């Protein structure tokens, strides 16, 4: 007789209570992650579909300057109570504008304009809709009494209220694709994208190769190894502004450039080379003339030098976890050190190398400060992150800058999906 399998039971009441409790305890963490990660991302997408300039962040409002001219000196003088009204924005109108003011005691009001009404000492003016950049002046004749002069008050010392409705470009539901049209139709965009990929791929590969070489070197025990490990961390822990300006001074094409002075002393060059200011240098190879990207290559070398210690730490930690029995067995079988490295170390390190490549690719693609400090994005080193800064702040077009940032996000998302699809797994 065949025994039937017992169907799995559902989640019991106790398990459900524990699940709800776990979700309740994790809710603050979820809220923090959503606010820190998703909110800026969604805000960037929102702005990218809006035609917003840097000046549009300041909402349009009505400014009023209240004066009594000429300044009264004696009782019985006839003067003018003047309100100068202006729209602070040159682009956005303000609708339904009302001016409400309390007239100081001792000022006898004459005839008021048609747009204003006076109840007791409360003045109300209906200014209607004020277009962008508009200016309006309201003049009311008044007679000064001695009580006003004795009080020593001024008209603007009294409370005044100005109300109006203006449209906020950031919170409105007006969307446009003009920012993306401008980005993709620009002749420089594809060049900037190509430079970004070139800088990211070679900068990431350089950091991994240097880190792998340093880890292999310091994986062997010798006197002073700990001191050397600490020195290898210097490029990563030193402030970026300090090391960037150190490189600028070393590679300076002027008389103070140390590296150029060394090259000229040994006869390697006839004159100084502008490493950070020259876009390219032509050179001949196999009968063809190529353009060597000088400034971009220099920035890539800085990127690899500065960030290889991170790769070095991770790779060295993974190397030390590999069993020495495999190396001893390979050595007994006659494997050379190079063969041991290629057939034992590299397969064991593929997982950590893949993770490091992903992290360094994302970080390098988003890197801004290194390039900005070294070249400012000039001489063919302008990447997408530098373009975000220039669009948003140099040109004051926040919408275009946000659109470029969206492109950066999409490129990195596409790369991450491809990476997770085909990345090798760590078998160690």
Dump the DSSP string for 348-413.
HHHHHHHHHHHHHHHHHHT--HHHHHHTTT-TT---HHHHHHIIIIIS-BHHHHHHHHHHHHHHHH
pLDDT in tens, 257-312: 888 888 888 888 788 888 998 888 887 777 777 788 899 999 999 999 999 999 99
φ/ψ (deg, to 5) at 281: -130, 125
Mean pLDDT score of the chain: 86
Distance CA 22, CA 49 (A): 39
Report residue 53 as tokens: 């300039």
Distance CA 83, CA 113 (A): 12
Structural element, H or E, at residue 163: strand 160-166
Report residue 396 as tokens: 């004051």
Average pLDDT over residues 82-96: 89
Asked if residue 212 has pLDDT above 90, the reply is yes
Tell me what pLDDT residue 69 has: 85
Q: Which residues contact 117 (CB under 8 A, 6 or more apart)?
A: 123, 124, 125
Distance CA 36, CA 38 (A): 6
3-state secondary structure 243-289: HHHHHHHHCCCCCCCHHHHHHHHCCCCCCCCCCCCCCCEEEEECCEE
Tell me what pLDDT residue 138 has: 92
Asked if residue 230 has pLDDT above 80, the reply is yes
Tell me what pLDDT residue 5 has: 52
Distance CA 308, CA 174 (A): 46
Distance CA 248, CA 234 (A): 18
- 330 confidence band (pLDDT: 50, 70, 90): confident
Report residue 79 as tokens: 């003067």
Q: Which residues contact 30 (CB under 8 A, 6 or more apart)?
A: none
For the chain, give the percent of residues with pLDDT over 90.
Answer: 35
DSSP letter, residue 12: -
Tell me what pLDDT residue 4 has: 54
DSSP letter, residue 53: B
- CA-nearest of 365, 413, 406 to 386 is 365
Contact predicate 270/291, CB 8 Å: no
CB atoms under 10 Å from CB of 314, counted, come to 19
Distance CA 148, CA 179 (A): 57
pLDDT in tens, 20-63: 888 888 888 888 877 787 888 888 899 999 888 877 777 888 89
Average pLDDT over residues 366-370: 91
Contact predicate 54/398, CB 8 Å: yes
- CA-nearest of 413, 204, 426 to 307 is 204
Taken in order of first residue, the domains within the chain and their CATH numbers are 61-166 (2.60.40.290), 180-422 (1.10.3720.10)
Chain-centre distance for alpha carbon 51: 19
């Amino acid at each position: 007789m065949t025994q039937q399998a017992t169907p799995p039971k559902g989640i019991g009441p106790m398990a459900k209570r524990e699940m709800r409790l776990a979700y309740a305890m994790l809710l603050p963490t979820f809220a923090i992650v959503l606010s820190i990660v998703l909110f800026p991302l969604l805000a960037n997408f929102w702005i990218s579909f809006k035609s917003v300039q840097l000046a549009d962040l300041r909402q349009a409002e009505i400014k009023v300057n209240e004066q009594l001219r000429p300044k009264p000196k004696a009782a019985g003088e006839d003067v003018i109570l003047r309100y100068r009204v202006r729209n602070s924005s040159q682009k956005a109108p303000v609708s339904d504008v009302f001016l409400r003011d309390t007239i100081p005691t001792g000022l006898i009001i004459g005839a008021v304009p048609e747009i204003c009404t006076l109840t007791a000492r409360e003045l109300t003016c209906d200014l209607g809709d004020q277009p962008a950049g508009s200016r309006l002046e309201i003049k009311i004749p008044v007679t000064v009494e001695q009580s006003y002069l004795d009080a020593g008050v001024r008209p603007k010392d009294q409370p005044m209220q100005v109300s109006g409705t203006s449209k906020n470009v950031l919170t409105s539901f007006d969307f446009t694709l003009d920012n993306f049209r401008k980005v993709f139709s620009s002749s420089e965009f594809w060049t900037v994208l190509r430079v970004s990929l070139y800088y990211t791929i070679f900068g990431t590969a350089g950091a991994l190769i240097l880190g792998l070489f340093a880890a292999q070197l310091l994986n062997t025990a010798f006197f002073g190894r700990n001191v050397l490990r600490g020195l290898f961390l210097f490029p990563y822990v030193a402030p970026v502004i300090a090391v960037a300006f150190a490189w600028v001074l070393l590679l300076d094409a002027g008389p103070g450039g140390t590296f150029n002075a060394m090259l000229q002393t040994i006869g390697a060059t006839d004159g100084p080379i502008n490493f950070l200011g020259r876009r390219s240098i032509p050179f001949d190879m196999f009968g063809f003339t190529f353009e060597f990207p000088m400034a971009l290559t220099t920035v890539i070398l800085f990127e690899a030098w500065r960030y290889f210690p991170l790769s070095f730490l991770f790779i060295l930690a993974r190397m030390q976890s590999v069993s020495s029995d495999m190396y001893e067995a390979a050595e007994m079988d006659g494997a050379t050190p190079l063969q041991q490295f290629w057939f034992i170390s590299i397969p064991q390190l593929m997982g950590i190398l893949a993770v490091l490549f992903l992290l360094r690719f994302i970080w390098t693609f988003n890197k801004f400060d290194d390039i900005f400090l070294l070249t400012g994005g000039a001489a063919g080193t302008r990447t997408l992150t530098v373009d975000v800064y220039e669009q948003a702040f140099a040109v004051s077009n926040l919408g275009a800058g946000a659109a470029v940032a969206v492109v950066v996000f999409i490129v990195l998302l596409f790369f991450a999906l491809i990476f997770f699809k085909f990345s090798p797994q760590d078998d160690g």
